[in-house]
Structure 1
Amino acid sequence: MPLLSTSGARALPVVRVRGGQAETADDWLAAEEPLEIRLMWGDRVQRLAVTMRTPGHDADLAVGFLVGEGVIRSPEDVLDAFHAPIQGGQTDPNIVAVRLASGVTFDAGRLERHVYTTSSCGVCGKASLEAVGVITGAPLAPGPRLTPEAIHAMPALLREAQDVFEQTGGLHAAALFSVSGGGASCDLLRVREDVGRHNAVDKLVGSYFASGETVPPQAVVLVSGRASFELAQKALVAGISVLAAVGAPSSLAADLAREHGMTLLGFVRDGRFNVYAGAERLDLSASGDR
């Protein structure tokens, strides 16, 4: 049987081959297990989706998922989020139920998804194409003023905070940064990891709403992979005005950012980045970044 370490990583026996020499050793792999998300309001219970995720911060993931779907619009919309009870007083670690406050309204039909989605899935479980791209949110706040120096510092801070990635090399991450000193410096506020990049963002956003807070409007989100349309939309709904990615953005992500006044940065690594939307938030007056 494989050894179970933390909820985010598992040790498995492997055969390592170097230069024709083989040896047996334990290797750490990112944990991946299914999570069923249920929604409770009034006397109704609806099963929304089953997503593959890295165990940990499951309530945050479920709440963040519902924020991204436009069901939860403020922290007051959430009464509770918990692992579902089973027999003998135990709870099911792979089922999370989110209980909504009375008076919360939403279009239940729009939430219809296939029963299973993958950990890399964003809109791929939608019941119809019309359900894609219709979730927005309140107009974005002006957001922070940024310098290249602050942006360049973010990837290293994110990498240092990726505990499970350090073990496994197999997890995505999303981090929230505050900016100070007129945009010249940054501080890491919070980071979440998951085998799915969409899940990492949901966990990050959900961690605020689940604790009765909203995402700080002057913050920057950095994701460890590429910036897809789905990630840009999740950031938009959460009120995040600056989305940065270590990898490339998609054309649809750039279109969405431009349409809603979001700043979108790509290839934020190795002392460089590209600006795909919202360059007005950047102070490049004393920099060679053009």
Structure 2
Amino acid sequence: MDDNSRPGTTARRRVVEVVDGAALSRPDSVVTEEPLEIRLGWPGQPASRVAVTMRTPGADFELAAGFLLSEGVLAVGDLPRTVAYCRDRALRQEQLYNVVTVELDAPPRRNPAVRSTPISSACGVCGTQSLDEVFTPCEDALGVEGVVDAGVVSRLPDELMRHQRLFARTGALHAAGVFDLAGGLVVAREDIGRHNAVDKVLGARQLRQTTYEDDSILCVSGRIGFDIIAKATAGRLAMVVAVGGPSSLALELADRAGITVCGFTRGSRYVVYTHPERITGV
């Protein structure tokens, strides 16, 4: 494939900035948003489309693997046989890096729901309608295997921000990072879609590009919706920390899954909504 057809993470364009009534024309960077089609196949089943998501190009294989983990198609630690960009001759030049095919060695643990409409960069669950579809009975709630110091939690959003290279250039991306209980960053990813950023950090472990334990912390740059907790549940992550607040359904799932949720984490303040026993002094 010709690398010249690979979409970049940002694009340049001229803008007009108005400050105190004065207009200034200047070049600026905007974040790239492109569709990614995810195809899935296994022995006896040719690869077919299971989703189309709008994303920021980069870490596409991790995004595909993390998405399939979040959907229950893969279990934690399941390594796909292959993950590759599609070489379908019918694809146009600009589509070459916008289709990823995941091939499994065996049938998936759950048949993926085929999405007939694109997933926008703002949505997450997209059709998962109940807690029971996310919290599978074959997985127990997460127990408290480790605790985190109260001061560590408040530092995580700022630490994540220091690794948001594209956000610093464009101001238009979400981020997700996985931290250990001492506050050390294990992996961070950015994307125009907050759920895509989470799928990317999940996929990094799924494809064995990094490793982290269940008693790890997921930190996200936005609010804590049901979709974020659903992905943390699928990834078996013990804590979710965010600068925004959670929804009621997100907290109901976190209660069931044994996940500690901390919202409005800004400066020295944050609010613990579920399972405070994981945080010392709370």
TM-score past 0.5 threshold: yes
Q: Which residue of structure 2 lines up, in the alignment, with residue 15 of structure 1?
A: 16
Pick closer, same or farther for the CA change 1:223–1:143 going to 2, 3 Å.
farther
TM-score normalised by length of structure 2: 0.89
TM-score normalised by length of structure 1: 0.87
Give the drift of 1:84. Answer: 0.6
Pick closer, same or farther for the CA change 1:5–1:25 going to 2, 3 Å.
farther
Pick closer, same or farther for the CA change 1:20–1:213 going to 2, 3 Å.
closer
**Is 1:195–2:192 an aligned residue pair?**
yes
Pick closer, same or farther for the CA change 1:212–1:32 going to 2, 3 Å.
closer
Q: Which residue of structure 1 lines up, in the alignment, with residue 163 of structure 2?
A: 161
Give the drift of 1:259. Answer: 1.6
Q: Which residue of structure 2 lines up, in the alignment, with residue 183 of structure 1?
A: none
Give the drift of 1:114. Answer: 2.5
Matched pairs, number: 272
Q: Which residue of structure 2 lines up, in the alignment, with residue 287 of structure 1?
A: none
- Structure-to-structure mapping, 1:160-239, within 5 angstroms: 160-180=162-182, 186-211=183-208, 215-239=212-236
- On the 8 A contact 1:141/1:217 being kept in 2, the answer is no
Give the drift of 1:86. Answer: 3.9
Q: Deviations over 1:56-83 (max 9, x none)?
A: 0000000000000001003334111111
Q: What SS does structure 2 have at the residue aligned with 1:111?
A: coil
Give the drift of 1:133. Answer: 4.4
CA distance in 2, matches of 1:40, 1:6: 25
Give the drift of 1:99. Answer: 0.8
**Is 1:282–2:256 an aligned residue pair?**
no
RMSD of aligned alpha carbons: 2.3
Give the drift of 1:113. Answer: 2.1
- On the 8 A contact 1:192/1:204 being kept in 2, the answer is yes
Q: Which residue of structure 2 lines up, in the alignment, with residue 106 of structure 1?
A: 109
Structure 2 gaps of 5+ residues are none
1:93 to 97, 102, 116: 97
- Code of the aligned partner of 1:93: Y
Q: Which shows bigger deviation, 194-203 or 40-49?
A: 40-49
- On the 8 A contact 1:15/1:23 being kept in 2, the answer is yes
- Code of the aligned partner of 1:9: T
- Code of the aligned partner of 1:18: V
Pick closer, same or farther for the CA change 1:5–1:43 going to 2, 3 Å.
closer
1:250 to 244, 247, 250: 247
Give the drift of 1:243. Answer: 0.8
- Code of the aligned partner of 2:153: I
Q: Which residue of structure 2 lines up, in the alignment, with residue 136 of structure 1?
A: 135
CA distance in 2, matches of 1:99, 1:170: 33
CA distance in 2, matches of 1:105, 1:191: 27
CA distance in 2, matches of 1:255, 1:141: 17
Q: Deviations over 1:161-214 (max 9, x none)?
A: 00000000110000011123xxxxx11111010000000000000011012766
Q: What SS does structure 2 have at the residue aligned with 1:274?
A: strand
Q: Deviations over 1:85-129 (max 9, x none)?
A: 1449x8810001111122x33343x513233110111122x2x74
CA distance in 2, matches of 1:24, 1:150: 43
- On the 8 A contact 1:81/1:210 being kept in 2, the answer is no
- Code of the aligned partner of 2:81: L
